[in-house]
Structure 1
Amino acid sequence: MSGFTTTAIHSIEDVEKNAIVPPIYLASTFTQPTDGTEGEFEYQRGGNPTRTQVEKTLANIEGAEHSFVYATGMAATQAAMGLVQAGENILLGMPNYGGNYRFATIELPKRGASAKFIGDFSTLSDDDFDEKTTMVFLETPANPTLKVSDIAKISEIAHRNGAIVVVDNTFLTPYLQRPLELGADITVQSATKYLAGHGDLLGGVASTNNPELAEQLWKAQLISGGVLSPIDSYRLLQDIKTLALRMDRQQENARRIIEVVQNHPSVEKVLFAGSYNESDAEIQARQAKGIGALFSFTLKEGKNIKAFLDSLKVFGFAVSLGGIESLICLPATMTQGAYTPEHLEEFAVEKGLIRVAVGIEDIADLEKDITTALDAA
């Protein structure tokens, strides 16, 4: 099977009783052979048939040998960043999701590890690495500025210096961007966002083609216990089947809303994947199938952000993204609220930056809603 949606729908092999969807296995434990060997499943934390089904499906659509699902996106990130040992260092692309930043600045030091911030990966060189640098962790497009990084180039430099590359692919998913095929060693995603897509479950996924890394990612599940429940595994499995359909609609809507916002007299600037310069656009076009459904913008000086927010009727004012509903947030005080004031300034997360996650609502309603709110500003 080569088609993305066909693969997403038909990755299940052991459907019982000719049912077109698999059963949910809720058992916390499984009986074992009495000859001293172990069965395929022993205890739910270590493995579960329903969780295995969604992991196989995710691996197939990712083009990965191994995928592992976790209770939250941050649990997946912790599994990946947790590979760094005491005395080692991560090169962390900035800006980055506030939860990733929080883990790098709070948890890594507790483990005797550290993070060095990279604000522009286009300037990455061998000089940024030393013998302690074992990982490069990046989002592309970046949250919330949508700055693009060249995954293939970064991977080449990192591997030359003995470091692995982890790409947070939450914003684009394997439907629009496939980091493992570009040289990354691990991809992580918040399954809460586009993969689930309905704003009603938490989950995370980490994928790799490296068997040694896969063993460590599985152990992170087993030891931490941060696994996805059977019921949520089943629900995620069903949601993934409509991922391409939802993202096509969301991306189409986003392009239209970007055009509306760009042409409104209250708006100062609009940021989206590939918008910074020709090089940015070329990288995005080369490594992804589109720009996704996120963008950010600022209002002109003197405009009233609160009046804009208060006038919204369809767009919800909330954190998160990737669901069928359209959402707007203020990253500096919400998703990036863990940043120090110095880092907010250094990495261009302006106080007035507005991030827009476009859903699947009727485009005429979205256009009217955001235009009315911009007029009110």
Structure 2
Amino acid sequence: MNKNVGTVCVHGKKQRRNVDNTGAVSFPIYQSATFVHPAFGESTGFDYSRLQNPTREELERVVNDLEEGVDALAFSTGMAAVTALLDILEPGDHIVATDDLYGGTIRLMESICKKNGIKTTFVETDKVENVEKAIEKNTKMIYIETPTNPMMKIADIEEISKIAKKNSCILVVDNTFLTPYFQKPLKLGADVVLHSATKYLAGHNDTLAGFLVTNSQEISEKLRFITKTIGACLSPFDSWLVLRGIKTLHIRMEQHQKNAKKIVEWLKTQKAVVSVYYPGLEENESIEVSKKQGTGFGGMVSFHVDTPERAKKILKDIKLIQFAESLGGVESLITYPMFQTHADVPLEERLARGINECLLRMSVGIEDVNDLIEDLDQAINK
């Protein structure tokens, strides 16, 4: 039976593994560090929770089904997932990466990776030719975010995948902002999809988690070995929280997007708002790419206001919307990238990318959109 994405969010594609005989509708939390062997040389399929746990396995099954890969691995955080992924590289290898990445990923590449002899070249990946030009003889990975964080630039996954294949590079796509509900990078030629599952997949601002999904059996085996060795796996309870969150992913993503579109149109009418960044704007140069490779534009919006003083006033005066880091939860959050998510990026680089004291990034929640607009109005204009 072919299942649509909403059904896959709730059930996965196939019947779940029978590890419980109670008939529990909600998959149980197997809060056990270790599992009994029936006899020498025999196993129930579970030995030790660092290797695998029934609750984490069920979550990985559903995420893998959503992204349509061959394997999905759940990690304790999004950055744990990024770290494990970059561990498949060797000293002397080279990465071509989006310049407008999440600041924590840039920090990792510019510190730990550099220390380990791995060089990264950051380019504007919304221009395919930049990726081609940045390829070196030792380039092993192309790492992109699309939409980017926080400037919402769009990279053409299909075209970049051609460059990756021609140069025998692994193409990684951070799909945190759009999720497999709106975008499926593996179907467009990516080799690995990355998620900070803390965000939309879990969806309730109550847990930390990360994911790697791949369509390569070879990459899967390397990542499974790394995960087993470094041990940054997702706990049973957090696996259950993310699993529960995914059951409403399709409903939440539609509401996030519906609200975001209305807020974007309202922001465009405000004199104090200088510019608005949202993947679904028809005037975007990359709108056709967005439409070609996805089925939606998501709930993330960035905007410049006219002065730093107004930006700080908004952060102080908002009442319903909350000034907090992170994104993708049911609650609307607003952040100050210059001093929060991208604080570790060198100042000149931040400013060159438009990340200045006038830029705010909003994760639009699922509240009534009229209440959100009323809150923005009083914070911006009064």
Partner of 1:335: 341
- Report what 1:54 is aligned to: 59
**1:81 CA displacement:** 1.9
Q: What amino acid is aligned across from residue 10 of structure 1 in structure 2?
A: H
Partner of 1:156: 162
Correspondence 1:7 to 2:11: no
Contact 2:96 2:131 in 1 (8 A): no
Contact 1:274–1:280, Cα closer than 8 Å, also in 2: no
Deviations 1:159-180 (A, max 9, x none): 1011110000000000000000
Letter paired with 2:9: A
Structure 2 matches for 1:164-203, cutoff 5 A? 164-203=170-209
Q: Cα distance, 1:308 vs. partner?
A: 2.0
- Match of residue 325, structure 2, among 311, 319, 336: 319
Partner of 1:282: 288
Tell me if 1:310 matches 2:311: no
* Distance verdict in 2 for CA 1:32–1:13, change over 3 Å: closer
Q: Secondary structure at the residue paired with 1:205?
A: strand
Partner residue of 2:83 out of 73, 78, 82:
78
Structure 2 letter corresponding to 1:170: T
Counterparts in 2 of 1:1-377, with a 5 A limit?
1-11=2-12, 12-14=16-18, 15-36=20-41, 38-122=43-127, 123-124=129-130, 126-275=132-281, 279-301=285-307, 304-376=310-382
TM-score normalized with structure 1 length: 0.96
Answer yes or no: is the 8 Å Cα contact 1:87–1:113 preserved in 2: yes
SS of the residue 2:250 aligns to: helix
Sequence identity percentage = 37
Q: Is the 8 A contact 2:308 2:357 kept in 1?
A: no
Q: 1:326: Cα distance to partner?
A: 0.3
Q: How far 1:125 sits from its partner (Å)? A: 5.1
Per-residue displacement from partner, 1:297-348 (whole Å, max 9, x unpaired)?
A: 1112486222222221111011100000001111011001110012112322
Letter in 2 for 1:293: G
Q: Per the alignment, in what secondary structure is the counterpart of residue 286 of structure 2?
A: helix
When the two structures are aligned, how many residues end up with a matched partner? 376
The one-character-per-residue Cα deviations of 1:40-88 (angstroms, maximum 9, x if unpaired) are 1111101111110000011111111100000001011111122221000
Gaps of 5+ in 2: none
* Unpaired segments ≥5 residues, structure 1: none
- Superposed CA RMSD: 1.6
Secondary structure at the aligned position of 1:16 is classed as: coil
User: Structure 1, residues 231-264: CA drift from partner, whole Å, max 9, x if none?
Assistant: 1111111110000111111110000111111111
How far has the Cα of 1:33 moved from its partner? 4.9
Q: Aligned AA for 1:199?
A: N
Closer/same/farther in 2, CA of residues 125 and 115 from structure 1, 3 Å limit: closer
Q: Distance in 1 between matches of 2:379 and 2:79?
A: 33
| CA distance in structure 2 between the aligned counterparts of 1:351 and 1:311, rounded to whole angstroms | 17
Residue by residue over 1:146-170, the C-alpha shift from the partner in whole angstroms, topping out at 9 and shown as x without a partner, is 0100000011111101111000000
**Residue 289 of structure 1: how far off its partner (Å):** 1.3
* Deviation per residue, 1:189-211 (Å, 9 max, x gap): 00100001100000001001100
* Deviation readout 1:220-239 (Å, 9 max, x if unpaired): 22111111110111111111
Bigger drift between 33-42 and 124-133 goes to 33-42
Please say if residues 148 and 274 of structure 1, whose CA atoms lie closer than 8 Å, have aligned partners that are also in contact.
Answer: no
Question: How much has 1:278 moved relative to structure 2?
Answer: 5.1
- Which SS does the other structure have where 2:198 is aligned? coil
Whether the 8 Å CA contact 2:310–2:380 is kept in 1: the answer is no
CA shift in 2, pair 1:50/1:374, >3 Å: same
CA contact (8 A) 2:64 2:71 kept: yes
Contact 1:274 1:283 in 2 (8 A): no
Distance 1:203 1:125, change over 3 A: closer
Indicate the larger mover: 355-364 or 300-309. Answer: 300-309
> Given that residues 95 and 349 in structure 1 are in contact (C-alpha distance below 8 angstroms), is that contact kept between their aligned partners in structure 2?
no
Deviates more, 1:151-160 or 1:34-43: 34-43
* 1:276, distance to aligned residue in structure 2 (A): 8.5
Equivalent-residue separation in structure 1 for 2:7 and 2:281 (angstroms) = 32
Counterparts of 1:261 and 1:121, CA distance in 2: 24
